[in-house]
Amino acid sequence: MIRTYILNKSYFISFEGIDGSGKSTQAKLLIERLNSNSIETCFVREPGGTKISEEIRNILLDDRAEEMSSRTEALLMCASRAQLTKNIITPELKAGKWVIADRYSDSTLAYQGGGRGIDLDWLVRLNNFATFGIEPDVTFYIDIDPNIGLQRRKNISADRIESAGLEFQNEIRNKYLEIIDNFSNRCVLVDGKLSIKEISHLVWKEIKNRTSFE
């Protein structure tokens, strides 16, 4: 369900992409821009965002001796999402805030669907259950070559999923491109090779086009 923005009404925006694509950078810049235009925002990042969701995040990203099954990974991602949606996203949207998410349900389709090879229909149903049917109004997918992502993150220590390798990131990227094609009304593909400033400008232009916000 795509909602249109009406003055003083909420809006839900997600950023997606492989690791190192620049999502967090753009989410932060967008929030600064919205706040300077007197729009109240709420930032969330997945997995995590509530006490229970952060505990689930620790289980998900820690490199443990026991190998995590792909189904466990998918279920935990969705468990974290259900908690975040119920306790933070829905109340904030109801309160009229703009919610800016660094990853949401498309990450599960791309990582657990593309990366781990879980059947997409299962994941779509699981996501629908976890999100209570809520979808972002607009999703910015920042597309980059995994080699660039890796290069950009070379000074940041990798978690369990990020350290799964280049081939894994390639599978995820391909699945993202498929998803973007399937949900072309909601999703906007952004070239991640552009500069931080250029991307931020494109994001802002798109939001202004999609809302009655001036």
Binding-site size for ligand TYD (CB under 6 A) equals 16
The single residue listed with the structure tokens 């910015």 is 140
| Contact residue for ligand TYD among 16, 19, 135, 137 (CB under 6 A) | 19
Provide, rounded to whole angstroms, the least separation between the CB of residue 205 and ligand ADP: 16
- The count of other CB atoms within 10 Å of the CB of residue 208 is 11
Cβ proximity of 117 and 70 under 8 Å: yes
Site string for ligand TYD, 23-52 (x = CB under 6 A): -x--------------------xxx-----
Radius of gyration of the chain from its Cα atoms, rounded to whole angstroms: 16
User: What is the distance between the alpha carbons of residues 208 and 204, in angstroms, rounded to a whole number?
Assistant: 6
- At residue 55, the 3 state secondary structure works out as helix
Does position 49 interact with ligand ADP (CB under 6 A)? The reply is no
Cβ proximity of 143 and 15 under 8 Å: no
Query: Got the DSSP string for 82-130?
Result: HHHIIIIIHHHHHTTPEEEEES-HHHHIIIIIIIT---HHHHHHHHHHH
Does position 152 interact with ligand ADP (CB under 6 A)? The reply is yes
Interaction with ligand ADP in 166-195: which residues (CB under 6 A)? 192, 194-195
Provide, rounded to whole angstroms, the least separation between the CB of residue 18 and ligand TYD: 7
Provide, rounded to whole angstroms, the least separation between the CB of residue 94 and ligand ADP: 27
Query: Which two structure tokens, joined as six digits, stand for 176?
Result: 């993202």
- Selection from ligand TYD, ligand ADP, none that 108 binds (CB < 5 to 8 A by kind) is ligand TYD
| Contact residue for ligand TYD among 27, 29, 77, 89 (CB under 6 A) | 77
- The count of other CB atoms within 10 Å of the CB of residue 162 is 18
Does position 200 interact with ligand TYD (CB under 6 A)? The reply is no
Q: Measured from the CB atom, is 47 or 192 closer to ligand TYD?
A: 47
Q: What are φ and ψ of residue 22, in 5° steps?
A: 110, 15
Q: Measured from the CB atom, is 42 or 190 closer to ligand ADP?
A: 190
| Contact residue for ligand ADP among 167, 191, 196, 212 (CB under 6 A) | 196
Positions in the binding site for ligand ADP (CB under 6 A): 17, 19-25, 152-153, 192, 194-196, 199
